[in-house]
Amino acid sequence: GGGPAMSPTEPEPPAKRAKMAVSAAAGAKWKFMSAWFCPYAQRAWIALNHHRVPFEKIEALTLKQAPGEALKDVKGYEKHPLLLKHHPSGLVPTIVDSEEAQPAVYDSLTCVQFAEDLAASGAVDGRSPLLPVEPVQRARARMWTDWVDKNLCAPYYSVLVPKEDERRRAGFDKLLHGMRTFQASIKGPFFLGEELSMVDIAAIPWAYRIFSCGIIDLYRGPAFALDSEELAPLLRWLEACLALDSVSATLADKQRLVDTYKRYADGTAESKVADAVRAGKTANDHE
Amino acid sequence: GGGPAMSPTEPEPPAKRAKMAVSAAAGAKWKFMSAWFCPYAQRAWIALNHHRVPFEKIEALTLKQAPGEALKDVKGYEKHPLLLKHHPSGLVPTIVDSEEAQPAVYDSLTCVQFAEDLAASGAVDGRSPLLPVEPVQRARARMWTDWVDKNLCAPYYSVLVPKEDERRRAGFDKLLHGMRTFQASIKGPFFLGEELSMVDIAAIPWAYRIFSCGIIDLYRGPAFALDSEELAPLLRWLEACLALDSVSATLADKQRLVDTYKRYADGTAESKVADAVRAGKTANDHE
């Protein structure tokens, strides 16, 4: 596909617009295209909440659940026309201003940084900065954020997606190693200390899925169990994160979330993440 | 390996220190560990130059050139102890303060952002910002920077590294498609308009290698030739970039640079980029 579009595309015809079923959040400056089950979208959601950015949340990926079909057996989803209009591949999170007058912002960590920039510019009455002020510490926070992406988020899919036990095991070992490294560097209560940061936001959605929802144990069995005693510092960190209103407001129902991962776990997921992992690549910011 | 070290490691023993052969740049606040042939290090170098960050440049990867051996036949390189001390995998660019009192900054785009943050914080007397001020435009610049990484830099290695003509051809098609998309969005003279930005810096080292050094034509032959008429806007953009003193100061001798790519082109490269591409993964910020 092309690069990020440099200018907004043509407005949708009225017929398509009528189907958009967006909730009426009067006065919201930003349209936030999300999906309740998507951990990448959840990152953006937490950052928007944290900085009190006024947004209208639009569920832009609708699971194709037939009448009588259980959620866990749903295969694909439909994409909202507003999403397809503003993201070349129709991925969430995607953020656009309410007038759709400017080009869209997407990619989860770019959306987090966008919320931070809105707060830094004074455009919103944000809370504590998500990155330290001092340049070296700022750089370190960015490095840890990228590190979380590669060492905690990507291996999660390497445990769930492959069909071969050996590959699952290698993914699990990488995930466990990542967890040990991460928790050894937590300053507490949050990763960088007293305040929530971009590093925490990068990790929270996967930690919630692993520890609060127990998705790995559930789909991969006791051989892939995590030792809550060994990982106690990580669990304390997660508890501190989940206690924040900006985070708790983004937590999907556990059982519903568990059900959606059946698509990954039984190899039927029709998603870019699953395709990438099956092809032997690293999971990344795909949906 | 572990995550980014949160605190500086122990000082090296004196015996190792004596070998460090760093050039004496009195008063430089930062030690910049670079390699003259490395495009990722060149990104950091351009940004440090642009923002007039006072640094001492250390050649941290020394090609193992035996007496009488041509540069193009050199296989591996030795890593500077200072680099191994501050980067867990010994990759450039890596930046550390002159006292080595703070943890190191690495990953090329993080280094570029670091130079930008030094200027924004007033720590150095920098030139024009490398990112726009307005939050949506800032986000778009970040998105384009990531896009350049995936669609211009990574495919370059997909042309040079694989042995199969089919894979080289697929890499070339992706690269050409990336070039067309990029040049269609250049505002001129620089990508975002009047001033050099992070998007330009992300792309310059590869554009220099492809167009100024002719590395692809040279190693892959006329079937992989680029049409300078079709790519005229891209060539004008490159010319504007190379005319800047912050950029021209970072340009390696063309023939010397061409010679180093023989390692990739004949399949003997001992580098993380080459390993990754051979394994079917996407090239990324490896050296």
- Whole-number pLDDT of residue A268: 60
Q: What is the DSSP secondary structure assignment for residue A58, as one 8-state letter? A: E
| Dihedral, B242, B245, B249, B251 alpha carbons, nearest 10 | 0
In this predicted structure, the answer to whether residue B230 has a pLDDT above a threshold of 80 is yes
In angstroms, the CA A145 to CA A155 distance is 15
In angstroms, the CA A129 to CA A198 distance is 9
| CA count, 13 A, side-chain hemisphere, B36 | 14
Mean pLDDT of A11-36: 57
Contacts of A14 (CB under 8 A, 6+ apart): none
Given CB atoms, is B182 within the 8 Å cutoff of chain A? yes
In this predicted structure, the answer to whether residue B2 has a pLDDT above a threshold of 60 is no
Q: What is the pTM of this model?
A: 0.86
Interface test with A, best of B51, B87, B107, B143 (most A CBs within 10 A): B143
Angle between helices B232-242 and B165-184 (to 10 degrees): 80
- Whole-number pLDDT of residue B65: 83
Query: Taking the domains of chain B in order of start, what are their residue ranges?
Result: 30-121, 135-279
Residue pair B216/B159 in contact by the 8 Å Cβ criterion: yes
Nearest to B43 by CA among B156, B150, B201: B201
pLDDT per residue over B182-203, tens digit each?
Answer: 999 999 999 999 999 999 999 9
- CATH homologous superfamily of A30-121 equals Glutaredoxin (3.40.30.10)
Q: How many A-B residue pairs are in contact by the CB < 8 A criterion?
A: 96
Q: Which residues of A120-146 are buried (b: 16+ CB within 10 A; e: fewer)?
A: beeebebeebbbbeebbbbbbbbbbbb
For residue B233, cis peptide bond before it (omega within 30 degrees of 0): no
C-alpha distance from A281 to closest chain B C-alpha (Å): 6
pLDDT per residue over B141-180, tens digit each?
Answer: 999 999 999 999 999 999 999 999 999 999 999 999 999 9
Interface test with A, best of B48, B95, B117 (most A CBs within 10 A): B117
Question: Which amino acid is it at A2?
Answer: G
Q: In terms of CA atoms, which chain B residue is nearest residue A102?
A: B136
Interface test with B, best of A89, A105, A131 (most B CBs within 10 A): A105
| CATH number among 1.20.1050.10, 3.30.450.40, 3.40.50.2300, 1.20.58.1880, domain B135-279 | 1.20.1050.10
What's the pLDDT band for A77 if we cut at 50, 70, 90? confident
Residue pair B43/B202 in contact by the 8 Å Cβ criterion: yes
In sign, the C-alpha dihedral spanning B156, A139, A40, A12 is: negative
Percent pLDDT > 90 in chain B is 71
C-alpha distance from A87 to closest chain B C-alpha (Å): 12
Distances (CA, A) of B42 to A190, A267, B38, B92, B205: 35, 42, 6, 9, 6
Percent pLDDT > 70 in chain A is 83
In angstroms, the CA A40 to CA A178 distance is 19
Given CB atoms, is B138 within the 8 Å cutoff of chain A? yes
Nearest to A112 by CA among A101, A126, A102: A126
What's the pLDDT band for A52 if we cut at 50, 70, 90? very high
Nearest to A138 by CA among B125, B121, B85, B128: B121
Give the residue with greater pLDDT, A272 vs B9: A272
